[in-house]
Amino acid sequence: MPAYIYTKMVEEASKTGVSLAQFTNRARSWLTQKYAQIGKETVRPVRFIEQVDRKKRRIRIGRLYMFLYDPKGKKELPYYDRFPLVFPVDFETDGFYGLNMHYLPPVLRAKLYDSLLELKTKSENENISAVELTRIRITYTLLKKAARFRFFKPCFKHYLYKQVRSPFIIVPEEEWNITMFLPSEQFKKATKEQVWKDSRSKV
């Protein structure tokens, strides 16, 4: 399903309060059927990561990953996501920068996601596995300059390798749409509604 359809669904949900609930239930049901390790209300990240077979020791720019994270200095942070859903954007010697889509409320997430999909491409590198072929050709410079990416700031995060607490789980391109709206966020020290309210104020 093209991403713009998801945008319309989520926009309608913001008005009615019904469609989004139905949509997230559909996402949860889809993943429940695919992986028996999913709970009734939220994804259980530890069990999920232990069971799936897409574990990676390294990440690549522009692919989509899930992983467990325990941030440095978490006592000083107002909140953080224990189970990020990230498109890596750039590397640092100690980690990487990426877009954790969980930090955006569904409407803004869908709009940013639509814009990112315009940069989708497939690699012809024979040394890359099939599940890693599709990527988003994104750079920090492009995020800053292009107006269509104006929602990126609240979800642009720096992740340290030493604080990653699991293998990286790659999400194949054919499952991006549904995973993007799965209620898998694991915010600590604040509710998702509080995080999303803060994110709206930043854009």
Which pLDDT does position 32 carry in this prediction?
Answer: 52
Residue pair 113/106 in contact (Cβ under 8 Å)? The answer is no
Q: What are the residue ranges spanned by the domains of the chain?
A: 3-202
Please say whether the dihedral angle defined by the alpha carbons of residues 154, 174, 185 and 46, taken in this order, is positive or negative.
negative
Residue 12 φ then ψ, to 5°? -65, -40
pLDDT classification of 40: cutoffs 50, 70, 90: very low
Across the chain, what does the average pLDDT equal?
81
pLDDT band, very low/low/confident/very high, at 4 (cuts 50, 70, 90): low
pLDDT at residue 49, as a whole number: 55
